[in-house]
Amino acid sequence: MTTAARQSTPGGIPAPAGPVGPGRGDAAAGNPALAQAFAGLPRVVDLLAARAEEHDRDAGFPYQGIEVVHDAGLLTLTVAERHGGPGAGLADTVRVLTELGRGDPAVALVTAFTLLVHARQTRTSPWPEPVYADLLADSVRGPALVGVLGPGGVLGRGGADDAARSAGTVGVTARRGEDGWLLTGCEPGVAGAEALAWMVVTARTEGEQPGEGVFLVQGDTPGVQVEPTWDQLGLRATASHDVVFEAAEVGDDAVVRLGAGGADDDPLDRAWTDLALPAVYLGVARAARSWLVRALRPVLVDGDGQLQAAVGSIEVELTAAEELLFALARGVDEGVPDAPLRTAAGRIVATRAAVSVVEQAVALSGGAGLSRAHPLERHFRDVLHARGHGRREHELLAEAGRQALRGR
C-alpha cells in the first residue's frame, strides 16, 4: 500500500490496514483501529518472514519491512487516542510484538522501542508537546522510528558495556552551548541506528552541578554520525551500529529532564519494557517450534513416544511462557495491585523459555538445525540476544530475592 493510499485517523496517524475484524487483542473488540491491526497482522508477518533470511545474510536494515509495519498502522499502535492513535495497551502490544518476532525479530525489536516511547508519552507525557507533535507529523509522512540511547537501549553488549559506561569510555556528555546543549560521545549498539528519525538520549551533564539529562535529538541533526560497527552473531538486520555525537546541538525545548539520575525509574516503564522485549523473542521461539513441527511430520513414526514427548516439552514450555506474559500484561493494563512488581519474573521466565525452546528444537533437528539452508539456525542465533537488554538477569533475581526476604 502506498503512502498516498493509506487511510488515517482523525489525528493524522496512519490507520491500521486490513478489513475490520474481531482481532485477537484484549481491547480490539471495542476499538476498531485495534481490530483492523489484528486483522491485518497475519499478512504483515508473512511479508516480514519472506525477506528475513535475505536481510540476515546481508546484514542490511529491513527498510521495506518497516514500511510494511508502518502501512499496517502497527508502528503507531500505542499512540494515545487523544492524539488520534489506537491507544493500545500492554497486552495488545505484547501480542503484536510476539507475532512480528515470528516474522522478523529485527523489525519487531526496532518497532518495540518505538512503541515503548509512544506508550510512555500516553501515560506520562515526558516529551514537550510541540516536539511530540513533530514526531507525530513525521509519523504521518512515513515510518518515524525512535531509538532509546543509554543503558536501557544498548543491544547485545552485556557486562563489557556496563564496565565501559562506568569508566566513561562510552556514553554521551552534555554541556551548555550558546543556544542550548551540545552533546558529545558515543552510544554503542543502537538498534536501527541508521534509520532513526528521533533519539531519546540519556547523557551526563557537565557544569557546576553535574548530573544527568534526557534529550530529544533528530536523526539528521548536524554532528550526529552512525559508525557501522554492528557485526554480531544474531539480529544482524537490526543494524545496531554505534551513534557518535560531535557537539550535536539540542535546543532547550527538546530537553525532557535535567537533574539527578534515576528520576525516570517508573514501575510502569519497567513493566512495559519487561514484557514487550521478551515478547519479540517468544515470537522467535514460536517460529522455531513451527519449523520443527513441519520438518518432523513427514518422518514421524507412529508410536514414537520419546520424540512426541520431546516436542510436547517444547509446546508446554512455550505455551506457559506466552500465557504468563499475556496474563501479566493484562494485569498491568487492568491496574492489578503489584502487577508491575511481578513483570521482572515474567521477563526472566519468558527469556529463559525462548532460549530453551530454540535450543531443544536445534537438538531434535540434528544437523539440519545448524544448516544455513534452514531458518532454524537463524532463529538460534537471534534468540541468543534475548538476554542483552536492560537490566541483567542476576540483577532481577537479586531484586526478587530482596523482596522475598523482606516478607513481600
Region of poorest pLDDT, from 85-99, 138-152, 256-270: 256-270
- Check if the beta carbon of residue 241 is closer than 8 Å to that of residue 193: yes
- Check if the beta carbon of residue 347 is closer than 8 Å to that of residue 393: no
Q: What's residue 386's pLDDT?
A: 94
Of the candidates 266, 240, 271, the one whose C-alpha atom is nearest the C-alpha of residue 157 is: 240
Region of poorest pLDDT, from 20-24, 233-237, 326-330: 20-24
Q: What's residue 169's pLDDT?
A: 57
How many helices and strands, by DSSP H and E, does the chain display? Answer: 11, 8
Please say if the pLDDT value at position 108 is more than 70. Answer: yes
Region of poorest pLDDT, from 28-37, 152-161, 316-325: 152-161
Distance CA 154, CA 144 (A): 19
The confidence band for 213, taking pLDDT boundaries of 50, 70 and 90, is very high
Question: 217 — phi, psi (to 5°)?
Answer: -125, 130
> What is the CA 340 to chain-centroid distance, rounded?
18
How large is the average pLDDT for residues 218-247? 96
How large is the average pLDDT for residues 356-377? 94
Of the candidates 224, 207, 226, the one whose C-alpha atom is nearest the C-alpha of residue 215 is: 224
| 22-27 contacts, C-beta under 8 A, 24 or more apart | 24/95, 25/88, 25/91, 25/92, 25/95, 25/96, 26/89, 26/91, 26/92, 26/95, 26/330, 26/333, 27/88, 27/89, 27/91, 27/92, 27/333
Domains observed in the chain: 28-142 (1.10.540.10), 158-259 (2.40.110.10), 267-405 (1.20.140.10)
The alpha helices in 215-259, defined as continuous H runs, are: none
Averaged pLDDT of the chain: 88
Distance CA 368, CA 372 (A): 8
Question: 84 — phi, psi (to 5°)?
Answer: 90, 10
How large is the average pLDDT for residues 346-363? 97
Length of the chain: 408
Please say if the pLDDT value at position 163 is more than 90. Answer: no
- Answer positive or negative: Cα dihedral of 69, 74, 78, 80: positive
Start-to-end Cα distance in the chain: 52
Distances (CA, A) of 155 to 72, 149, 407: 26, 10, 34
What is the model's pTM?
A: 0.89
**311's grid cell:** 516436542
The confidence band for 391, taking pLDDT boundaries of 50, 70 and 90, is confident
Of residues 8 and 49, more confidence is placed in: 49
Distances (CA, A) of 229 to 147, 176, 187, 224, 378: 17, 29, 11, 15, 20
